[in-house]
Amino acid sequence: MAPVSPSPHEPSGISRKNLLRAAVAAGAAVPLLATGGIALARDAVRTPGTDALAPTPACDDGDDPTPDQMEGPYFKPNSPLRTSLVTGGTAGTPLTVSGYVFGRNCVPLSGVLMDFWQADNAGAYDMTGFAFRGHQFTDSTGAFRLTTIVPGLYPGRTRHLHVKAQAPGEPVLTTQLYFPGEPRNATDMIYDPALLMNVRSAGSGRQGTFDFVLDVDGDPGGGSPPPTDPPSGTWAAGRTYTAGSVVTYGSFAYRCLQAHTSMAGWEPPNVPALWART
């Protein structure tokens, strides 16, 4: 096959992410670390100087952050705050999805809003309630963990999970996560191999991992200091708010949309998923 010249809109050389995409499209193996797992952003942080391929999506070699994808017709706002989408009687193959959220400089991001939604075991979305819908926030290490089931198939799509990720005060990333080895990956027009999870069997269920890279720079010092003269108002960090609570911040009043315990960075103007101006 003749070599392909780089696009005039792209830098010369081969991006590690593009190498992964080309490998998957050609049926080659996904790049692995020495441990046998898919290269993730956490490995670039924990093993600097390694000869292994950089993470995909990469946050240390000039590649783009985690690709965005269409929201689709089944998103609903105001999902419950929870890390598990299942109960004891939920049908389907158990699945846990875990990982970290990084800035493009490979610094973990805490307090990132992660809103997940998916189809049930039969491939249907709940549009009357909030089954298989929930949001959570990354912890102080940038980690998240979701307990759910492997989503069912519906016409025209391969298996996938939907997610919105938003660092405090930053734009929302809307994207989807995919499962390796799915026959429909080859025919799904939306599917992107850069969004493949690393999935393995675990007893009667499956475990998936994926690290998100947001288009923001993380603070290596662990967060910005509070302003010396913060806006006036009744909102305060460290308080428990319930849906419907009203606070003031600066010159405006805000109504709480979802119960949560506040923290610095979640001021009402910064997190529209939690607060709406009245």
272 CB-contact burial (10 Å; exposed 0-12 / middle 13-18 / buried 19+): middle
Q: Measuring CA to CA, which residue among 101, 125, 83 is closest to residue 42?
A: 101
What pLDDT is attached to residue 53?
Answer: 41
Residues 211-240: tens digit of each pLDDT: 999 999 887 765 444 444 567 889 988 888
Q: Is it the case that residue 46 has pLDDT exceeding 80?
A: no
The percent of residues in the chain predicted with pLDDT above 90, rounded, is 55
What pLDDT is attached to residue 269?
Answer: 84
- Cα(44)–Cα(31) distance, rounded to whole angstroms? 14
- Cα(116)–Cα(149) distance, rounded to whole angstroms? 12
What pLDDT is attached to residue 34?
Answer: 37
Q: Measuring CA to CA, which residue among 211, 202, 210, 209 is closest to residue 94?
A: 202
- Cα(107)–Cα(272) distance, rounded to whole angstroms? 24
What pLDDT is attached to residue 119?
Answer: 97
What pLDDT is attached to residue 71?
Answer: 95
Q: For residue 2, report the phi and psi dihedrals to the nearest 5 degrees.
A: -70, 145
The pLDDT-based confidence of 41 (bands split at 50, 70, 90) is low
- Considering 40-44, 201-205, 218-222, 233-237, the range whose residues carry the highest mean pLDDT is 201-205
DSSP conformation class of 226: P
Q: What is the mean pLDDT of the chain?
A: 80
What pLDDT is attached to residue 229?
Answer: 55
Q: What is the mean pLDDT of residues 240-261?
A: 90
Q: For residue 238, report the phi and psi dihedrals to the nearest 5 degrees.
A: 85, 5
What pLDDT is attached to residue 59?
Answer: 60
Q: What is the mean pLDDT of residues 256-278?
A: 84
Q: Is it the case that residue 167 has pLDDT exceeding 50?
A: yes
Q: Is it the case that residue 32 has pLDDT exceeding 50?
A: no
Residues 123-166: tens digit of each pLDDT: 999 999 999 999 999 998 999 999 999 999 999 999 999 999 99
Residues 91-121: tens digit of each pLDDT: 999 999 999 999 988 899 999 999 999 999 9
The pLDDT-based confidence of 250 (bands split at 50, 70, 90) is confident
Upstream peptide bond of 94 is cis (omega within 30 degrees of 0): no
